[in-house]
Each structure stands twice: as C-alpha cells, then as structure tokens.
Structure 1
C-alpha cells in the first residue's frame, strides 16, 4: 500500500506544510494549452491544491486520488460555496470510469507522476483527452538550503544513505528515483502526443536562484518548519513504522532520525535555533505534451 493511502498517515499535516505552486508554473501550462477550457482532471490531487488554484480558468475540475484520506482532506478545505465547479473522486490515475471519452481539455499531476503505471496511464489518457488537449506533469526533489551548502549535504546524506538509521532504505521505488531524475522517465508516446516540452531547475548553494534552469518552487521558512516538512516524506513515515521506539523530542521522546539530522546541520552551520528563517529552493521538472 502506498504510504499516503495508509490510515496512519497525517493528511492534515501534509496539506499544511507542503509547498504550494506559484502562478508562474500555472501560467507556463496555460500558455502551452490550446483550445477550450471546459474540463480539467488533476491526478493524485492530494489536498486539492491544483484544482483550487485553477478553478477560475476552467468550467469544471475533478481532483482524483487513490487515497480516501487525501480526498477527505481536499473536500474539507474546498468549500462548495467558494468552489462550486470542483469535485473530488477516489480513483487511481490509470482508471477513471466516471470520465467520458475525449472530453478532457487538460490533465495535470503535481508531485504524483512518479507513482503512475505508465503503460496503463497513457492508454487512459488517450481515451479521455480530446485531440489537441494537454497533459502536464511536474514534480520536485528535496529542499536545498541555498545559503547553507553544508546543511544541504547533510540532509541529502540522511535522506538517501542506505544505512538503517537513515531514510534511504525506506523510499518506495522506483518512484523516488523517478523524482530524483526529474521525471525524465516520463515519456509521452510519440505516436499519440506531440510538442513535448520539458522545463527543469537545479538549485545552487550560492544564494537565491543561483541554480540552473527555470525556478518554480522556492520559499522562506523557519528551520523548524523545514524539519516538519521532512516529516511528511513517505520515507520518514516508513522509517517510523520500522522504529516505533524512537520518538521525536517534540513528542516527548529521546530523539529520532530527523532530530539527529537537525543536530548535525545546526552544528555544521552554527545555527542559533529553530525560529531562524532560511531560503529554500526545490529542484523541479515540468513535462508538457499536446495530444495529436
């Protein structure tokens, strides 16, 4: 079972701490899109960020997610009076029986495309998307402290080292590798999709926007908020299930893997406390294509 579908996963915490997407990202996608804007389907909608952001641009929007917990969270923060054109459905991306053939103008997937079964997915996209319609999938990697290279390096080691006291062994694969490789394995079939466009960004550690490519995702956060964000990673959730005896300090325990990670970062960068604000950027990838 995927981590986000488990009843023990905190869908509310995920919704509260995960980064939102900037208007520039949506503008890139809307500029790429041609034709009508009657129906949008958002795959792996999670807490429903994408449908709410694009509600003014489409007549009707459907957010789907295989996790009933995520759908409940999305519904709870999407009041029908404010968003009368949005509905949510518990469904996998590969099977959308409630969507009629060739009726969808745009299909989106934000930070969920690495979970898909692509042979089945492209078959379903071919069925539901109208000729000339758009698919746009994007994802983001790990947060980078753009002014603190030592901290960024420590976070990477804790996130991907194969030791049992790190998070590396607890990622669900091949999904995480697809994200880390900036969705390059997402290849729309050439016979069915055209004008495939890829936009990427790799952060640097010489200050804001010192990386390469087109930046989409950045945020100023308190150090404590960054650690709470990492606690929403699926690998951390799996690590906690494997180490129930190690409780975070904030919960009255003696410390867990992320407490140890923060201690190392704090010592390496000589940070003062968890209320210190830092600039964060994420490596991102956006893949867009138009149905032939």
Structure 2
C-alpha cells in the first residue's frame, strides 16, 4: 500500500503552526525508558518530537515520507533525518531504546508498522504513540468550531480521521505493559494564529483543492466578533499509549 502524504504541499504552514507537546508527556514516556542511547521518531513531520528527544538521547533517527517536511525540520547535531516509510525502514535489528509516533499512526499500515517496531527495537524498548483531538476554544466558540469540523469540512476528511476522534481506541496495540494517559497542550493564540493552524488540517487542504476557496476565511469572519483582538488560551486534548516491546 502506497503511504499517504497529506502534508508536503503545505509543509511551510505545518512547520510554523502545528503544536508542540507538554513536558509532562515526555516525562511520562521517559519514566518507562531505561536506556537513552538511540530513539526513532517515526513520521517526524517538522521534527518537533525529534527536537525534544535530541536533548535526552545520544542519537535520534527521524523519518518521514515527505522530503519537504524534512527539509524544514528543526536541525540539531544528533538528529539524523531520513526519507522512509513507517513500515519499512533502513535501520538494523535491535537498534532503538525508544520509538515514538505523534499524530501520524492513523495514516499507517498498523500491523506492518508494529512488525517493523519489533524488528528495530532493542529487547525491552519502549513504544509510545499519541495524537490529539479537536482543540477546545471555550464554551462560546466550541459549537461554532464543531459545526465547521463536522459539517463544513467534514466530508473532506480522510476515513482515517475516525481513529483520532476515538483516540486510537480501535487500533491494535500488541505490546507488553500497555498503559494509556491523557495530557493537555495549552497555547495562547491570536485568531490569526489559530486560523493558520486550521489551514494545516488535511481536510481544509482538500476542501481548497476541490473548491478553489479557503473555508477558513469564512470561519474567521464568524469567529472574529466573539474572539476579538486578544489572545485566547486554547486546549488541545492529547491521548497517549505506551508499551514495551
């Protein structure tokens, strides 16, 4: 199966406007990791996870199917970026102490990816998979965003989006000592910053491609009288599962 690349066409937006993850998430994952020599961040995108891991691990390998994303990714001397699918990598057997994949698992052939994880992980290594659902803006704006999400651009989501909506509950996770956890990423954003984040959504990009108009412009006009000129605290609900290979 050919891997889906939904992000090369707007990699610059993605690098600027996608969220990073809270320290509490990394602390939780690292509490399971005994050795911190080598980590693999799969589907690294703009490298936000790889950059965080580089401060902790001796060496970080980061892969993605988007060459454009990798060109724009954060650069650190101990991060090695490579163009690679999740399901078939160039790594040697039993290489990694930690394997991470953030907001991308739903695009994979899950069984093939997990088979590759078992191959490249050291015995007892940790696998952590996470994602985040629909952002919370506040009780005054949440119904407007939900309507936009479900109805205005709802038909333009790929079928895989359902796995985000159910927090990966129906995706297999065949690893030992499996645990789930939830976190919240909080960001204070202006309306313009938020609208540019929405423009990184794959459904928005598909809507623009098919209709030759940006639906976010319409949403911005609806939100502006309520949002105003000030920054607003946004909450991104993160779901995570971690296990041992």
The TM-score range, normalised by the shorter chain, is: over 0.9
Q: Distance in 2 between matches of 1:128 and 1:188?
A: 17
Q: Distance in 2 between matches of 1:259 and 1:11?
A: 20
Is the 8 Å Cα contact of residues 227 and 262 (structure 1) preserved in structure 2? yes
Give the structure 2 partner of residue 243 of structure 1.
Answer: 211
Q: Distance in 1 between matches of 2:216 and 2:56?
A: 40
| 2:181 counterpart of 1:188 | no
Give the structure 2 partner of residue 86 of structure 1.
Answer: 79
Aligned to 2:184, the other structure's residue is in SS state coil
Is the 8 Å Cα contact of residues 3 and 238 (structure 1) preserved in structure 2? no
Q: Distance in 1 between matches of 2:113 and 2:125?
A: 16
Report how far residue 263 of structure 1 moved: 2.5
Report how far residue 105 of structure 1 moved: 0.8
Give the structure 2 partner of residue 131 of structure 1.
Answer: 123
Which residues of structure 1 form unaligned runs of 5+?
A: 201-214, 247-255
Report how far residue 94 of structure 1 moved: 0.6
Give the structure 1 partner of residue 189 of structure 2.
Answer: 221
Deviation by residue 1:82-119 (Cα, 9 ceiling, x = unmatched): x22110011111111x2111121110011111111111
Give the structure 2 partner of residue 36 of structure 1.
Answer: 35
Q: Distance in 1 between matches of 2:187 and 2:92?
A: 39
Deviation by residue 1:10-58 (Cα, 9 ceiling, x = unmatched): 212111111111211111110122x221110001100111111111211
Q: Distance in 1 between matches of 2:142 and 2:221?
A: 13
Q: Distance in 2 between matches of 1:284 and 1:262?
A: 25
Report how far residue 262 of structure 1 moved: 2.5
Give the 5 Å matches for 1:138-157: 138-146=130-138, 149-157=139-147
Aligned to 2:7, the other structure's residue is in SS state helix
Aligned to 2:127, the other structure's residue is in SS state strand
Give the structure 2 partner of residue 3 of structure 1.
Answer: 6
Q: Distance in 2 between matches of 1:58 and 1:185?
A: 31
Is the 8 Å Cα contact of residues 191 and 224 (structure 2) preserved in structure 1? no
| 2:14 counterpart of 1:14 | yes
- The two structures have a TM-score, normalised by structure 2, of 0.94
Is the 8 Å Cα contact of residues 7 and 14 (structure 2) preserved in structure 1? no
Question: Please, which of 224, 235, 238 is the counterpart of residue 281 of structure 1?
Answer: 235
In the TM superposition, structure 1's runs of 4+ consecutive aligned residues that sit over 2 Å from their partners are: 262-267
Give the structure 2 partner of residue 265 of structure 1.
Answer: 223
Aligned to 1:287, the other structure's residue is in SS state strand
Deviation by residue 1:214-249 (Cα, 9 ceiling, x = unmatched): x331111111111111011111110000111x3xxx
Q: Distance in 2 between matches of 1:118 and 1:92?
A: 12
Q: Distance in 2 between matches of 1:288 and 1:229?
A: 27
Rg bigger for which structure?
1
Which residues of structure 2 form unaligned runs of 5+?
A: none
| Cα distance, 1:266–1:56 mapped onto 2, change above 3 Å | closer
Deviation by residue 1:225-278 (Cα, 9 ceiling, x = unmatched): 11111011111110000111x3xxxxxxxxx422222223345x3x43xx3211
